[in-house]
């Protein structure tokens, strides 16, 4: 639901549209308190619902089901800019001297470099075949990412065992499953194969053709798909450590569902509990803030409306409340 007190903050062209020469800007709204809660709700982050709700709320013109994975970084970056965040604040531990510090990365500039051209460029193979690829939908990517998470988590759990050698067969099996999952996902991005004047469009036939192709051809295609995927993500940034001045490479990802899963994969049980408790605490803090707004606004803002307020609007209301409290104190009247 778009609240009536919000207006589009910016208009963007999606990378997939630009690649197809279709310049029809779409509007982006700032996110609301409701979005901030959903991106801190573990189940919604795990199953991708957080992404669906955030996009429906901030980019109501998009059909989430048909949204392409190659457009997601641009959309998420634009929502941040709509929220007034022109930089990404990251907290990094230097791998050289272990100094931890926060760094500001210019977001706007990085978004400009995203392009989806490779997704719409045919691959000309040395044997004269032409392979056409297309970007997957974000929904399809999300299903893949969830399956990948489950496999990675299983591998991590086994590698944490003392006698992990006993499980080497299981690890090999999980590794094989992972390779197949990636292969399935990538071949699913092949949209058409042209052989002489014939065309293969059937997905099953494409998969069969791919598995029967020699490894060199397979590599040419998967390399092209990986390159296309990378061009639509934020580039890895190089930061100079504030202490030892050495350079640190830092990969950036705006997909909060991905980041959540990655965090769970790399954390042990205790770290996961602490992390989930922190998310829960953040939600409670935000809810208290919303209740305070409703109370101090004396019915001017309902609880439902408070959930639809953007960060900027909440800050402004807090200022008004603060000013009024100060004013009331000066007059010597009781604050009710």
Q: How far is CA 282 from CA 89, 122, 223, 299, in A?
A: 18, 47, 41, 25
Strand partners, 91: 102
- The correct pick among 1, 97, 160, 303 for binding Zn ion (CB under 5 A) is 97
Residue 93 binds Zn ion (CB under 5 A): no
CA pair distance 115, 233, nearest whole angstrom: 9
From CA 297, how far away is CA 46, in angstroms rounded? Answer: 36
SS3 254: coil
Among 54, 69, 241, 264, binds Zn ion (CB under 5 A): 241
How many residues line the site for Zn ion (CB under 5 A)? Answer: 7
Shortest reach from residue 101's CB to Zn ion, in Å? 9
Nearer to Zn ion, 76 or 248 (CB): 248
Please tell me the distance from the alpha carbon of residue 122 to that of residue 133, in angstroms, as a whole number: 7
- The owner of tokens 């549209």 is 17
- Judged by CB under 5 A, does residue 240 bind Zn ion? no
Site for Zn ion (CB under 5 A): which residue of 11, 86, 96, 263?
96
- Please tell me whether residue 238 adopts helix, strand or coil conformation: strand
- Is 243 a binding residue for Zn ion by CB under 5 A? The answer is yes
- Asked if 193 and 130 count as a contact pair (C-beta separation under 8 A), the reply is yes
Question: Cβ closer to Zn ion: 245 or 263?
Answer: 245
Shortest gap between Cβ of 237 and Zn ion (angstroms)?
Answer: 15
Distance, in Å, from the CA atom of 282 to the CA atom of 63, rounded to the nearest integer, reads: 30
Q: Which of 244, 273, 303, 320 binds Zn ion (CB under 5 A)?
A: 244
Interacting span for Zn ion (CB under 5 A) from 121-129, 233-241, 297-305, 325-333: 233-241
| Subset of residues 98 to 137 that bind Zn ion, contact rule: CB under 5 A | 99
Question: Residue numbers of the site for Zn ion (CB under 5 A)?
Answer: 94, 96-97, 99, 241, 243-244
């Amino acid at each position: 639901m778009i609240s009536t007190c919000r207006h589009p903050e910016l208009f963007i062209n999606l990378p997939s549209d630009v690649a197809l020469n279709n310049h029809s800007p779409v509007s982006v709204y700032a996110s609301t308190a409701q979005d901030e809660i959903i991106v801190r709700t573990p189940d919604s982050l795990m199953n991708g619902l957080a992404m669906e709700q955030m996009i429906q709320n901030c980019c109501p013109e998009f059909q989430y089901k048909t949204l392409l994975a190659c457009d997601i970084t641009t959309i998420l970056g634009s929502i941040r800019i709509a929220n007034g965040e022109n930089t990404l604040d990251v907290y990094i531990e230097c791998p050289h001297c272990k100094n931890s510090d926060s760094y500001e990365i210019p977001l706007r500039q990085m978004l400009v470099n995203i392009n989806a051209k490779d997704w719409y460029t045919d691959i000309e193979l040395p044997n004269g075949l032409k392979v056409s690829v297309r970007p997957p939908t974000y929904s399809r990517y999300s299903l893949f990412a969830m399956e990948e998470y489950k496999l990675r988590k299983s591998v991590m759990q086994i590698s944490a065992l003392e006698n992990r050698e006993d499980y080497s067969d299981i690890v090999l099996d999980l590794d094989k499953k992972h390779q197949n999952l990636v292969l399935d996902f990538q071949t699913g991005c092949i949209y058409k194969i042209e052989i002489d004047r014939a065309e293969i469009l059937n997905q099953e036939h494409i998969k069969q053709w791919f598995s029967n192709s020699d490894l060199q051809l397979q590599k040419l295609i998967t390399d092209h798909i990986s390159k296309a995927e990378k061009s639509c993500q934020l580039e890895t940034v190089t930061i100079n450590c504030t202490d030892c001045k050495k350079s640190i490479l830092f990969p950036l990802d705006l997909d909060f569902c991905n980041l959540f899963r990655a965090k769970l994969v790399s954390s042990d049980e205790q770290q996961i509990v602490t992390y989930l408790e922190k998310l829960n605490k953040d939600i409670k803090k935000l809810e208290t803030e919303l209740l305070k707004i409703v109370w101090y606004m004396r019915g001017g803002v309902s609880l439902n409306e408070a959930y639809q307020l953007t960060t900027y609007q909440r800050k402004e209301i807090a200022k008004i409340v603060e000013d009024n409290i100060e004013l009331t104190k000066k007059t010597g009247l009781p604050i009710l």
